[in-house]
Amino acid sequence: MTERELDSIGIDLGSVIDSLQVGIIILDSERRIRHCNRWLTQRSGLAASAIDGRPLYEVFPEAHGSRLEQAVHHAIDDRLPSLLSPALHGTLLALYQTPGDRRHDRRMQQMIHVVPLSDKAQQGACLIQISDMTANISRERLLRQQTETLRRTTTQDPLTGVANRRKFDDVLASEFHKAQRNKLQLALMIIDLDAFSRYNTHYGRERGDVCLSEIAAALQDVVRPLGDLLARYAGDKFALILPGMDEREVCRLAENLRLRVGTLGIGNAASNTGYLTASIGVTVMQPSADADTHTLLSSADVALYQAKHEGRNRVVFFSAEDGSFRSYG
Amino acid sequence: MPLNELQRDALGEIFNIGVGRAASSLSQIVSDEVLLSAPEVMVVHREQAAKVLLGAELNQFSTVSQSFSGPFDAQAMLVFPESNALEIVRLMVGPHMSIEELSEFEQEAMCEIGNIILNACMSSLADIFHIRFESTLPLHRFGDTYNLPILDGDEEQMVLLLQVDMIISQQRIQGHILFLLSVPSMSALLDHIDRYLSAQGLA
């Protein structure tokens, strides 16, 4: 719609510009402000009379030497448009949503477009358009925080802080696939606390929870930071994924963990030993192309069952290849 | 329509002035030294340009484009492999994030970086040739090679292809600037270069 058409229905273009929810500044080739709208006077706290006709850099000294000055140069002298993103400039101009924000110098987050305008004298002129991005940016921040929280809660066991079963399943599948592709060994350990249900009955669930956290922290200590994954597999069962470890290494580590749990010296009146112990089932495989994670998991389970069967507080290795057991501890 | 050596050197010089100015603007924004250079300029057909871009091992790209019009028209595009674009955003804006997490906020930053580089190149051309262009505002997109605008459109289009090397915080990041020109626009550009060269007493 042209100005004349607006005029024919009795609407003044100036009042339209005043009603816009973005800031408008029109500059002439001398960088003088030839017009600004109401949005701008309100957010800058300046009267229109203190702005109109004055040089941009007197009204907004903060713009002097800034990227806005270059953008104005591009628009007036080269006739090229520019965009100033909130990520890189944010609070370039001293504009505020409320007088309270001004007192605390909390500037609004801005997105600025600077585009050339054609003027009659062909001296060059430009339009500076400022949008308030404050709400968008705080929403982005909030969303990012929520994403972070969600990511943590969907992959972490809330009690012990180690990975949860979902994360365990994901990592096991991807490490299994990696071992398959690169023809590498993959070790898996299942650590089960002996007579833990009786511990819970005897001392109460609260003490049981504290105990699980302590055990998880002790186990986490020996995990290699890259590649390994310790997870809470079920109530009192932890699982440890160990890519690239062979039988000798993984059994030595399992034995180390078994001793570690024992030496924590957590009393368990419900156990024959008088303290809390762990049984550990271990397996290693170099997965063939047609193998799946089920074989690995059930081998570790079989080994754990055997360790329980042999009297608990021990490490048993099971080989899915030849069906043999080897006990340690 | 290959460039002769003089034309190539002249364009190389003009674009290096442009990216040099862009580098000083970017340095000012991040308060850290940003270096930009355009070591190579060539004119190729559309398919060849696509091949050069595909030569990079990844085929996910970040593009910022602007359409310039004037004595000749050019669709200018700054193209970085997606991972390089993420690296630039990370170095200029903040912490590491994945493509999915990259919000409007960072995309706008990428858009501005492209805007600074493309405007600098075109205004350098405009200054040297004493001409003027108009342009659209920049548009940022992520996409794979299949939806790169360079792969569709007029068969006859030529591409002025610049390799750009960006160095921020000791990290070297490579990308390309493409100017898509119609055959008439390309010959108008070459005329301007020749006129400039003869004014310099070089051709």
Interface confidence, given as ipTM, is: 0.84
Dihedral of CA atoms B82, B87, B89, B94 in degrees, nearest 10, equals 140
Three-state DSSP class for residue A234? strand
Cross-chain CB nearest to B109 (options A67, A80, A87): A87
DSSP string across A254-290: HHHHHHHHHHT--B-TTSSSSB--EEEEEEEE---TT
Name the token pair of B105.
Answer: 């906020």
Q: Is the pLDDT of residue B56 over 60?
A: no
How many Cβ pairs closer than 8 A exist between chain A and B?
A: 73
Decide if B119 and A80 are in contact by the 8 Å CB cutoff: yes
Rg of chain B over Cα atoms, rounded to whole angstroms, equals 16
Residues spanned by the domain of B101: 5-199
Q: Is the pTM of this model over 0.95?
A: no
Decide if A137 and B105 are in contact by the 8 Å CB cutoff: yes
Yes or no: say if A262 and A275 are a contact pair by the CB < 8 Å rule. yes
Cross-chain CB nearest to B133 (options A80, A82, A111): A80
pLDDT number for residue A44: 93
Distance from CA of B132 to the nearest CA of A (A): 7
pLDDT number for residue B94: 66
> Across residues A200-217, what is the average pLDDT?
92
pLDDT number for residue A148: 81
Residue of A nearest to B68 (CA): A80
Distance from CA of A212 to the nearest CA of B (A): 34
Whole-Å CA distances, A188 to A52, A222, A234, B125: 75, 15, 15, 64
Q: Strands of A325-328's sheet, edge to edge?
A: A229-234, A237-243, A186-193, A278-285, A315-318, A325-328
pLDDT number for residue B152: 63
pLDDT number for residue B105: 76
pLDDT number for residue B169: 83
Residue of A nearest to B25 (CA): A67
Yes or no: say if A250 and A187 are a contact pair by the CB < 8 Å rule. yes
Q: Is the pLDDT of residue B96 over 60?
A: no
Yes or no: say if B137 and A183 are a contact pair by the CB < 8 Å rule. no
Give the up-direction half-sphere exposure of residue B39: CA atoms within 13 A in the CB hemisphere: 5
Higher pLDDT, B31 or A170: A170
Yes or no: say if A102 and A96 are a contact pair by the CB < 8 Å rule. yes
> Across residues A284-311, what is the average pLDDT?
93
Alpha-carbon span B175 to B166, nearest angstrom: 8
Return the percentage of chain B with pLDDT > 70, whole number: 86
Relative to beta strand A278-285, strand A186-193 is antiparallel
Whole-Å CA distances, A95 to A103, A109, A152, B164: 12, 9, 38, 37
Name the token pair of B108.
Answer: 């706008």
What average pLDDT does chain B have? 85
- Residues shown for chain A: 329
pLDDT number for residue B194: 94
- CATH number reported for the structural domain that contains residue B15 in this entry: 3.40.1550.10
Alpha-carbon span A259 to A273, nearest angstrom: 13
> Across residues A271-299, what is the average pLDDT?
91
Alpha-carbon span A100 to A107, nearest angstrom: 11
Q: Is the pLDDT of residue B95 over 70?
A: no
Nearest Cα neighbor of A160 from A211, A223, A94 is A211
Burial of A308 (0-12, 13-18, 19+ CB in 10 A): middle
Nearest Cα neighbor of A218 from A235, A206, A236, A230 is A230
Q: Is the pLDDT of residue A293 over 90?
A: yes
Triad B122, B128, B134: Cα angle to 5°: 35
Residue B58 β-bridge partners: none
Yes or no: say if B164 and B173 are a contact pair by the CB < 8 Å rule. no
Helices (H) and strands (E) in chain B, counts: 5, 7
Assign a CATH topology to domain A3-139: Beta-Lactamase (3.30.450)
What average pLDDT does chain A have? 91
pLDDT number for residue B51: 76
pLDDT number for residue B26: 92
Q: CB neighbours (10 Å) of residue A254?
A: 28
Name the token pair of A314.
Answer: 């021990």
Total domain count, chain B: 1
Decide if B108 and A116 are in contact by the 8 Å CB cutoff: no
The segment(s) of chain A belonging to CATH 3.30.70.270 are 156-328
Which amino acid is residue A72, in one-letter code? V
Q: Is the pLDDT of residue A39 over 70?
A: yes
Cross-chain CB nearest to A85 (options B112, B132, B136): B112
Give the model confidence (pLDDT) of B120-131 as tens digits. 999 999 999 999
pLDDT number for residue B77: 92
Whole-Å CA distances, A295 to A118, A301, B9: 74, 10, 65
Alpha-carbon span B55 to A230, nearest angstrom: 41
Q: In which band, very low, low, confident or very high, does the pLDDT at A169 lie, cut at 50, 70 and 90? A: very high
Top CATH class, A156-328? alpha beta
Q: Is the pLDDT of residue B154 over 70?
A: no
pLDDT number for residue B100: 63
Three-state DSSP class for residue A50? helix
Positive or negative CA dihedral for A59, A65, A69, A73? positive
Lowest mean pLDDT among A287-291, B36-40, B65-69, B95-99: B95-99
Q: Is the pLDDT of residue A155 over 60?
A: yes
The segment(s) of chain A belonging to CATH 3.30.450.20 are 3-139
pLDDT number for residue B155: 66
Q: Is the pLDDT of residue A270 over 80?
A: no
Distance from CA of A325 to the nearest CA of B (A): 45
> Across residues A311-323, what is the average pLDDT?
92
Whole-Å CA distances, B167 to A132, B38, B51, B175: 32, 12, 25, 11
Decide if B133 and A79 are in contact by the 8 Å CB cutoff: yes
Give the model confidence (pLDDT) of B100-150 as tens digits. 666 677 788 899 999 999 999 999 999 999 999 999 999 988 877 666 666
Q: In which band, very low, low, confident or very high, does the pLDDT at A56 lie, cut at 50, 70 and 90? A: very high
Decide if A80 and B25 are in contact by the 8 Å CB cutoff: no
pLDDT number for residue B202: 77
pLDDT number for residue B114: 95
Residue of A nearest to B103 (CA): A140
- Residues shown for chain B: 203
Alpha-carbon span A177 to A175, nearest angstrom: 5
Q: Give A257-262 contacts, CB < 8 A, sequence gap 24+.
A: A257/A189, A257/A191, A257/A219, A257/A222, A258/A313, A258/A314, A258/A315, A258/A329, A260/A218, A260/A219, A260/A221, A260/A222, A261/A191, A261/A193, A261/A215, A261/A218, A261/A219, A262/A313
